[in-house]
Amino acid sequence: MSVAVVAHSDWSMEQKKRWMAVAIQRDGHWHVQPPELVGDTSSLFDRLQCRAVDPGALLIGFDFPIGLPAAYARAIGLGSFQEALTLFGSGIWSDWYNVASHRDHISLQRPFYPVRPGGTARAHLFDALGISGAS
């Protein structure tokens, strides 16, 4: 099956910062659209597929970090990112995808902080994760 729609998104935690570029194949030529906001992520694939003029697949890429910092992987005792993906989101890792709203909620099993700016400091994150700094 040929590709009918290609999209690439520059991802962000903030919805207003999620932009994408879309190209649509029509009559054997690609037509690139101006950059646009991603919008509602729950309907993204359906909205992109509906834009196809010719029949074909949707190919989409996302620009977001994949992997874990080596020091963090050592601290949690996981040998590979693939292994981590099978664990995150369940059991002791059930809050891993939830951004901490308060410094007391940060842990190795919930390393993302802050949920919103204001009254926060990098030191809160570093202290809770047991690291000496950004390096």
pLDDT digits (tens, 9 = 90+) for 63-84: 877 888 888 888 899 888 889 9
d(CA 34, CA 65): 24
The C-alpha atoms of residue 123 and residue 132 are separated, in whole angstroms, by 9
Q: Read off the pLDDT of residues 11-56 as tens digits, 9 standing for 90 and up.
A: 887 889 999 999 999 999 999 999 999 999 999 999 999 999 988 9
Helix (H) or strand (E) holding 36: strand 36-37
